[in-house]
Amino acid sequence: MTGPSPEGSGGPRRSGLRNPDKAVRGLGAGTLALEALVLLLAIQPIRVVGGDLGGAAIGAIVALAVACVVLAGMMRRGWAWHAGTVVQGLLLLSGLLHWSLFVLGVIFALVWAYAWHVRRVILG
């Protein structure tokens, strides 16, 4: 019988990916990099459409974008996933500075929750 061997016996992993750890790290890094890009690109439209975007809100956006980029580069560390979750919470809290940041926080919190789900499914 030449079927796939159970996961515990050194056979192929359930996901069918060659390197599931690397694939999951790429998902997390890509999600955080996209979040950083969206946050930085959102500054001007928020100022034009949403009105009063103060210096504190712009500072929060830039700080969160920098945190996303740093964490995207550190996805090999197990704690980086938890730190990414903290970043999502901070983005939600920055909604106190401007309502549109809360909307972005909800969107990216949902995307991050899906990335966690995919990580759990692939890595077990």
From 1-5, 18-22, 29-33, 53-57, the region with the lowest mean pLDDT? 1-5
* Distance of alpha carbon 37 from alpha carbon 12, whole angstroms: 36
In a domain, 14, yes or no: no
In a domain, 68, yes or no: yes
pLDDT score of 63: 96
In a domain, 6, yes or no: no
Domain of 89 in residue numbering reads as 19-123
* pTM across the whole model: 0.83
pLDDT score of 3: 47
Segment 6-29 shows an average pLDDT of 74
What's the burial of 6, exposed, middle or buried (CB within 10 Å: 0-12/13-18/19+)?
A: exposed
Per-residue pLDDT at 47 exceeds 90: no
In a domain, 100, yes or no: yes
pLDDT tens digit string along 93-124?
999 988 889 999 999 999 999 999 999 998 88
In a domain, 1, yes or no: no
Helix axis angle for 55-73 and 20-50, nearest 10°, is 170
In a domain, 10, yes or no: no
Give 3-state DSSP helix, strand, coil % of the chain, rounded to 5: 75, 0, 25
For the chain, the domain total comes to 1
Residue 9: pLDDT band with limits 50, 70, 90: low
In a domain, 11, yes or no: no
From 12-26, 39-53, 63-77, 86-100, the region with the lowest mean pLDDT? 12-26
CB 97 within 8 A of CB 57: yes
In a domain, 60, yes or no: yes
